[in-house]
Amino acid sequence: MTLYEKITTLYTELTDADFAPEGTIMLQNDSDGRGDYIKEWNHPTLAKPTQEQLDGVQ
Amino acid sequence: MTISIKPTASGSTIEQDGSTILTVDGSGNVDVANNLTVTGNVPVNNTAPAFFSYPSAAVSVSSATPTKIPFNLTDFNTGDYDTTNYRFTPSVAGYYQVNAHAYFGTSVTDQQQVWIGLYKNGSAYMYASVQNASGNDNLSPSISTLIYLNGSTDYVEIYVRHGQAGATKDAGSFGRAFNGFSAFLARAA
């Protein structure tokens, strides 16, 4: 499951607009072996998920 | 008309009717006061940075996740393109023409968009997108622009993204045949 899928599973109210280039959440992958990560989280009401929350998503 | 060659404390000048038309300073730098017309060729010791790169393999791109294309091979590189971090950090300040295109080897479904992004110093500077009009198809977004880079710390990279939920797509497929990232100095600052 990708990071995007984990986040949208945790927060079902998120929409495509939140992840758009001018959206409130910016994911990124720098092709350096670290994989996908949250670069910026600027959502006005939802808290940035913790690594524990993300790891708990099946 | 009177032409005079006058040595100075730090070089020399050539004057025409009392007005300086050419100055040579102590370092050998030449300044021409007015227009210079050359009929023949001018050989230039050109140190302007330039490179062309392409990826050896595709990268897997998760939905809604800008992913750097690993442009790790070059056809030419004057020295400022980093094939490990896939970034161009030119050593001469100026205005650079930057071009990039990347091929999505995994087809994109009906009405879905893909983006290619020029990133400057780690942040999105400009995006360009293409949208699949109908059915499933392979898309190849491209971007081209002039951008100022300071010749020391500024760098540019290329990212791609797609918006198809629940899908992971390969981008940068088929090497040089379908992908490229290049830049050259258009005008020094």
Q: Smallest CA–CA separation between B157 and chain A, in Å?
A: 10
Instruction: Give the pLDDT band of residue A16 (cuts 50, 70, 90).
Output: confident
Interface residue of B53, B56, B59, B62 to substitute, partner A, most A CBs within 10 Å: B62
CB B156 within 8 A of CB B118: yes
Separation between Cα atoms, residue A7 and residue A14, nearest integer Å: 9
CB contact under 8 A, B165 and A8: yes
What ipTM did this prediction achieve?
0.90
Could you read off the pLDDT of B111-136 as tens digits, one per residue? 788 999 999 999 999 999 998 888 88
Residue B171 has pLDDT above 90, yes or no: yes
Residue B137 has pLDDT above 70, yes or no: yes
Interface residue of A1, A2, A32, A37 to substitute, partner B, most B CBs within 10 Å: A2
pLDDT for the residue B133 = 82
Interface residue of B59, B60, B65 to substitute, partner A, most A CBs within 10 Å: B65
Mean pLDDT of chain B: 92
Residue B106 has pLDDT above 90, yes or no: no
Lowest mean pLDDT among B34-48, B71-85, B156-170: B34-48
**Candidate from B65, B69, B163 with C-beta closest to A28:** B65
**Candidate from B65, B127, B166 with C-beta closest to A36:** B65
Task: Specify the CATH number of the domain B49-188.
Answer: 2.60.120.40
pLDDT for the residue A22 = 86
Strands B142-149 and B94-101: antiparallel
CB A26 within 8 A of CB A1: no
Mean pLDDT of chain A: 94
Residue A10 has pLDDT above 90, yes or no: yes
Q: Where are the domains of chain B?
A: 3-34, 49-188
**Candidate from A16, A29, A32 with C-beta closest to B65:** A29
Averaged over B142-164, what is the pLDDT? 96
Could you read off the pLDDT of B15-60 as tens digits, one per residue? 999 999 999 998 888 999 999 888 888 766 678 999 999 999 999 9
Q: Which of B67-71, B103-107, B169-173: highest mean pLDDT?
A: B67-71
Residue B3 has pLDDT above 80, yes or no: yes
pLDDT for the residue B44 = 67
CB contact under 8 A, A31 and B66: no
Instruction: Give the pLDDT band of residue B107 (cuts 50, 70, 90).
Output: confident
CB contact under 8 A, B163 and A16: yes
Averaged over B153-180, what is the pLDDT? 93
CB contact under 8 A, B63 and A4: yes
Chain B residue numbers with beta carbons less than 8 Å from the beta carbon of A30 are: 68
Chain A residue numbers with beta carbons less than 8 Å from the beta carbon of B117 are: 21
